[in-house]
Chain A
Amino acid sequence: MSDEAILMKGVCKDFKVLNRHEGLKGSIKDLFSRDYKTVSAVKDVSLTVNKGEIVGYLGPNGAGKSTTIKMMTGVLEPTSGEILVNGLVPYKDRTKNCENIGVVFGQRSQLWWSLPLIESFKLLRDIYMVPQKEYDDMIALYRSLVDIEPVLHKPVRQMSLGQRTLSDILAAFLHNPGIVFLDEPTIGLDVSMKSKIRDLILGLNKEKHTTVILTTHDMGDVDALCKRIVIIDKGSKIYDNDIDHLKSYFGSYRTLRMRIGDTWEERLIDEKETDVMSVIAETQAKHKIKDIQLQEISTEEVIKKIYEGGS
């Protein structure tokens, strides 16, 4: 086996979308319309992910992240280009490919809703035909990484969002897959749960050398987990490098928001050139500041910076 977990070469994905017309008349016209337009969701993306890596796959909403993940999992077939996941062509060998991947979609659960978590685990063990010994070892590993006792015997529908996400991540790793896809796993979670989940992902990656592909909008996730970042925007890959390199783009940037009178004023501050305190002092000399917020730079702004600065 090679060292590559995922190999993508010039992958494109086009969707055919019906051209919808406006109004009632348009809706009736659409019934018989054959007027399709082609939308490119992913354009010529090449990517190599090595085994054991945690790769942050970033991009604004609608950039083509989910489409790429669906192609890697074999649910979608690329329009052109090559994909190999664990040496298999995912859309041709979907069932076989599924045996060696795990998936978590932050908003959905693969667990059996009305059953206690342990039953979902047992079921997944049987479906993936995990030998009892490996299953026991995995549960033992889970116990060492996170306190699973409170959730293990709780029906999934009674869980909080955080507990459920945690359970879903554990379920995705249960059959010890080579690759786990995590699609916005920390969405909607509080700070302590986020950090718990990050620790868990790191721990599992370290123990099992699982390759993790993580999509997120949370720069905190990226910071805590990923050594390498891939950014796509409008279907094209615009950045692929390690996180330290990216930090030179966003690490020193902060968005400072100040409320002067009734309006919020926003300033993007590059801490290499100036620092937050001096901006505040400067503003305060002229106006009365009622409130202050300091924000990390968002993915969208990182992308804007990459476009501006080139990489």
Chain B
Amino acid sequence: MSIRKFLALTRAGIMESLHYRLGIAVTLFANLIYLVLVYFLWKAVYASSGVDVVNGMTFTDTMIYLILATALFNFLEMFVVWDMSRSIQSGKIILDLLKPMDFRTYTFWSYSGSHVVQFVLTFIPTFIVVMIVTGGAIPMGLNLLYFVVSTLLALIVNFGIEMLVATLCLYTESTWGINIVKETIVLLLSGASIPLAFFPEKVREVISYLPFRAVYDIPLSVLLGKAGSDSLEGLLKLWGLQLAWAVVLTVAGIIFWNISVKKITVNGG
């Protein structure tokens, strides 16, 4: 097994993403607008609460969390569901099935290039800006390295969720609704739009074991040294949760996909 064919896909993905440079610029611009909105929204929330610290987070904490969550969202966002439903409807999927590579592996590596581009062009600049503006609110140390590990795990968990939903597309011809539901659930329960600290105690308890948290909340907590990630034990616990979900979702995804493809190959597309 050679890594060459995977890296070739990454390389092509990078080139394709860079090709749409206008798209990257628009993403950055849209982020800016979104963050202005978030800023004023949370400013109002803090003003009306009358205290500086809400649920253990200051206004600055919340902003850092949400800005980085947005940047992380751009980086992790995948369009597997959209692309898959399109290629099923157009019949193009047959050409992807006819690559000399397992379909799941092929899809994963096809997207890897755009992740690299998004990481370098949106996440890193955002991170640097936040770092400079907040002047040392983000701890600088081994947590950066831990964050990278955590992000890679988040990537696998996210891909697992995407592939499970995408496989559903093989059954339903309309995927728009399913995808919207998936996106809303992920954004809400992962901490990407509201920091998980703001959820009621009981709800948070439940959410903390769900896979969605492994996508945004855990990498961010690790980066910011929150949720017990400053101790080795806490860190391993968070990683363990991510790893467990990565394994579960991957295995479930592979089984579900194999059954579904079998159904298609038996009954026709």
Question: Chain A: residues with CB nearer than 8 A to chain B?
Answer: 15-16, 41, 67, 70, 73-77, 91, 94-96, 98-99, 101, 103, 105, 108-110, 112, 114-115, 119, 122-123, 125-129
Q: What is the CB-to-nearest-CB distance from B12 to chain A, in angstroms, rounded to a whole number?
A: 5
Count of A-B contacts with CB under 8 A?
Answer: 73
Q: Bound state CA distance, A16 and B266, in angstroms?
A: 9
Whether B145 sits at the interface, judged by CB under 8 Å, is: no
Whether B49 sits at the interface, judged by CB under 8 Å, is: no
- Interface residue ranges of B103-124 to A (CB < 8 Å): none
Mind listing 8 A-B residue pairs with CB under 8 Å?
A: A41-B268, A99-B100, A114-B19, A115-B12, A119-B15, A126-B8, A127-B101, A128-B100
Q: Which residues of A contact B172 (CB under 8 A)?
A: none
Is the contact region of chain A dominated by helix, strand, or loop, or is it mixed?
A: mixed
Contact in complex: B265, A75 (CB < 8 Å):
yes
Residue of B8, B90, B262 touching A122 (CB-CB under 8 A) = B8
Q: What is the CB-to-nearest-CB distance from A67 to chain B, in angstroms, rounded to a whole number?
A: 8
List the B residue with the shortest CB-CB distance to A39: B268
Q: Which residues of A contact B101 (CB under 8 A)?
A: 95, 127
Residue of B16, B97, B267 touching A75 (CB-CB under 8 A) = B97
Q: Which residues of B contact A15 (CB under 8 A)?
A: 267-268
Whether B99 sits at the interface, judged by CB under 8 Å, is: yes
Q: What is the CB-to-nearest-CB distance from A94 to chain B, in angstroms, rounded to a whole number?
A: 7
Q: Bound state CA distance, A74 and B98, in angstroms?
A: 8
Contact in complex: A114, B20 (CB < 8 Å):
yes
Q: Which residues of A contact B94 (CB under 8 A)?
A: 70, 73, 75, 105, 108
Proximity bits, B54-91, A CB within 8 Å = 1, else 0: 00000000000000000000000000000000000011
Residue of B11, B20, B265 touching A77 (CB-CB under 8 A) = B265
Contact in complex: A108, B91 (CB < 8 Å):
yes
List the A residue with the shortest CB-CB distance to B11: A123
Proximity bits, B251-269, A CB within 8 Å = 1, else 0: 0000000000010011110
Contact in complex: B97, A94 (CB < 8 Å):
yes
Whether B4 sits at the interface, judged by CB under 8 Å, is: yes
Q: Bound state CA distance, A95 and B101, in angstroms?
A: 6
Contact in complex: A123, B9 (CB < 8 Å):
yes
Contact in complex: A112, B4 (CB < 8 Å):
no
Residue of B2, B20, B265 touching A76 (CB-CB under 8 A) = B265
Whether B233 sits at the interface, judged by CB under 8 Å, is: no
- Interface residue ranges of B228-259 to A (CB < 8 Å): none
Q: Which residues of A contact B201 (CB under 8 A)?
A: none
Contact in complex: A91, B19 (CB < 8 Å):
no
Whether B95 sits at the interface, judged by CB under 8 Å, is: yes
Chain A to chain B: the 10 pairs with minimum beta-carbon distance, closest first: A126-B8, A99-B100, A98-B100, A110-B95, A15-B268, A114-B19, A77-B265, A127-B5, A123-B12, A126-B5
Contact in complex: B95, A108 (CB < 8 Å):
yes
List the A residue with the shortest CB-CB distance to B96: A110
Q: Which residues of B contact A109 (CB under 8 A)?
A: 95
Q: Bound state CA distance, A98 and B95, in angstroms?
A: 10
Whether B92 sits at the interface, judged by CB under 8 Å, is: yes
Contact in complex: B265, A123 (CB < 8 Å):
no
Q: Bound state CA distance, A190 and B104, in angstroms?
A: 39
Q: Bound state CA distance, A77 and B269, in angstroms?
A: 12
Q: Which residues of B contact A76 (CB under 8 A)?
A: 265, 268
List the A residue with the shortest CB-CB distance to B266: A77
Residue of A73, A74, A101, A112 touching B16 (CB-CB under 8 A) = A112
List the A residue with the shortest CB-CB distance to B2: A129
